[in-house]
């Protein structure tokens, strides 16, 4: 388990915090640990998805010259590609990029919207939406038909999100700048689907080449994030219609922010059902059965953990249904 610490000593690079590595060893399968540790020093390839509002797979492939770019399809998402030849700068200089036919996005970040599965004509809430990556993906799935409310508490991030979505040709979005914790009470039962990509510790984005990504990590920070995640979940649940679907996701490994939130929600809401996360790839595992002395409800294991492998970053997602009461 000293791999990354020793690597830092011999290379002169910073090392990840030892308490984080100790926790990671308890979270990840032993057989996958070395791959995960290697991922913290491996540069991930450029990945992008087709913006279905403006283009198709065929138009995008034609727009990217084969002599410059080589693309590898993503088996579990037919709208996504891995750039195996060419650079990000070269991709950004293409008409396909400038005109919004494609959107550069990390693969793990695409998974929550696949689980949400928004449909044309529905009302969808993206509760913590900025910078709009997942909102744009939602709009593509809906083909600009229906209504999306994209909310974020930060006005600065809001303007960046608005610019991103306008560049993608998104027209079915209402923008909101408000505390997500309060929005559900004001818009109770309004949405068919809600995405809560919760503010989190960001452990899945740690990388040795970017010491700032893990400089402030402490176990105390994990504990400080949980109350807000619960308040946002409560708000998301209020906003969701009976029979509707909520996806809860984070880009962190911490069970307190992932399975722990689901365990709390199962105890809090009698009309909550966790559904299987139906996305299949090799570097996935089910949610944890336990953490420390806490054993989770068996339903929590239906959630999805994405294991970092140098291609995808660490991520967590759960698909949840608001069960229609027999009394309603």
How do residues 270-291 score in pLDDT, each as one tens digit?
999 999 999 999 999 999 999 9
Is 196 in contact with 236 (CB distance < 8 Å)? yes
Residues β-bridged to residue 148: 124, 173
* pLDDT score of 11: 52
- How far apart are alpha carbons 96 and 100 in whole angstroms? 6
- Same domain assignment for residues 116 and 184: yes
Give the pLDDT band of residue 6 (cuts 50, 70, 90): very low
Average pLDDT over residues 122-140: 97
- How far apart are alpha carbons 203 and 27 in whole angstroms? 13
Residue 269: other Cβ atoms inside 10 A: 15
Residue 34 lies in a domain: no
Query: What is the three-class DSSP state of 106?
Result: coil
Q: Using CB atoms within 10 Å of the CB of residue 133, give its burial: 0 to 12 exposed, 13 to 18 middle, 19+ buried.
A: buried
- In percent, the amount of the chain with pLDDT more than 70 equals 95
Last residue in a domain, options 61, 80, 105: 105
- Same domain assignment for residues 113 and 99: no
- Computed over every residue of the chain, the mean pLDDT equals 94
Residue 59 lies in a domain: yes
* pLDDT score of 169: 97
Is 266 in contact with 235 (CB distance < 8 Å)? no
Give the pLDDT band of residue 12 (cuts 50, 70, 90): low
Residue 7 lies in a domain: no
For the residues of 131-190, what is the DSSP string, one character each?
T-HHHHHHHHHHTT-SEEEEEES-HHHHHHHHHHHHHTT--SEEEEES-HHHHHHHTTT-
- Same domain assignment for residues 71 and 184: no
Task: For residue 74, give its domain range.
Answer: 45-105
Can you say whether residue 228 is alpha, beta or left, with left for phi > 0 and alpha for psi between -120 and 50 degrees? alpha
- Same domain assignment for residues 225 and 305: yes
Give the pLDDT band of residue 10 (cuts 50, 70, 90): very low
213 Cβ contact list (under 8 Å, min separation 6): 202, 205, 206, 207
Residue 188: other Cβ atoms inside 10 A: 14
Is 276 in contact with 320 (CB distance < 8 Å)? no
Residue 316 lies in a domain: yes
How do residues 293-327 score in pLDDT, each as one tens digit?
999 999 999 999 999 999 999 999 999 999 987 65
Stretch among 15-19, 188-192, 193-197, 258-262 having the lowest mean pLDDT: 15-19
- Same domain assignment for residues 208 and 59: no
Residue 177 lies in a domain: yes
- How far apart are alpha carbons 274 and 89 in whole angstroms? 41
Report how far Cα 310 is from the mean position of its chain's Cα atoms: 17
**Is 68 a residue whose pLDDT tops 80?**
yes
* pLDDT score of 327: 59
* pLDDT score of 298: 98
- In percent, the amount of the chain with pLDDT more than 90 equals 92
Residue 19 lies in a domain: no
* pLDDT score of 9: 42
- Same domain assignment for residues 147 and 91: no
Residues β-bridged to residue 252: none
Q: How far is CA 312 from CA 61, 239, 321, in A?
A: 23, 31, 27
* pLDDT score of 75: 96
Backbone angles phi, psi at 167, to 5 degrees: -65, -30
Is 87 in contact with 69 (CB distance < 8 Å)? no
Taking the alpha carbons at both ends of the chain, their separation in whole angstroms is 54
**Is 195 a residue whose pLDDT tops 60?**
yes
Please identify every residue annotated as catalytic: 251
Nearest-Å Rg of the Cα atoms of the chain is 20
């Amino acid at each position: 388990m000293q791999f990354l610490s020793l690597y830092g000593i011999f290379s002169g690079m910073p090392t990840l915090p030892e308490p984080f590595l100790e926790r990671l060893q308890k979270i990840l399968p032993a057989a996958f640990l070395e791959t995960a540790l290697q991922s913290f020093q491996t540069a991930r390839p450029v990945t992008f998805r087709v913006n279905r509002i403006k283009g198709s797979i065929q138009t995008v492939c034609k727009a990217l010259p084969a002599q410059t770019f080589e693309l590898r399809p993503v088996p579990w998402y037919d709208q996504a590609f891995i750039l195996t030849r060419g650079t990000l700068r070269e991709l950004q200089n293409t008409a396909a990029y400038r005109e919004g036919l494609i959107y550069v996005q990390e693969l793990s970040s695409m998974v929550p919207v696949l689980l949400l599965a928004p449909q044309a004509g529905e009302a969808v809430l993206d509760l913590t939406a900025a910078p709009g990556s997942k909102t744009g993906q939602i709009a593509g799935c809906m083909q600009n038909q229906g209504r999306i409310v994209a909310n974020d508490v930060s006005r600065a991030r809001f303007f960046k999100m608005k610019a991103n979505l306008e560049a993608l040709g998104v027209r079915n979005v209402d923008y909101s700048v408000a505390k997500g914790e309060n929005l559900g009470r004001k818009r109770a039962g309004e949405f068919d689907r809600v995405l809560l990509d919760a503010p989190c510790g960001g452990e899945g984005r740690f990388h040795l080449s970017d010491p700032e990504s893990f400089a402030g990590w402490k176990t105390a920070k994990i504990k400080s994030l949980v109350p807000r995640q619960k308040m946002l979940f409560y708000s998301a649940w209020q906003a969701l219609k009976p029979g509707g679907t909520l996806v809860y996701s984070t880009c962190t490994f911490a069970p307190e922010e992932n399975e722990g939130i689901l365990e709390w929600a199962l105890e809090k809401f009698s009309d909550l059902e966790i559904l299987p996360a139906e996305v299949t790839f090799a570097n996935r595992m089910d949610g944890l059965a336990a953490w420390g002395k806490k054993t989770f409800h068996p339903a929590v294991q239906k959630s999805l953990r994405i294991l970092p492998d140098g291609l995808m970053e660490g991520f967590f997602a759960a698909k949840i249904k608001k069960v229609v009461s027999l009394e309603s």
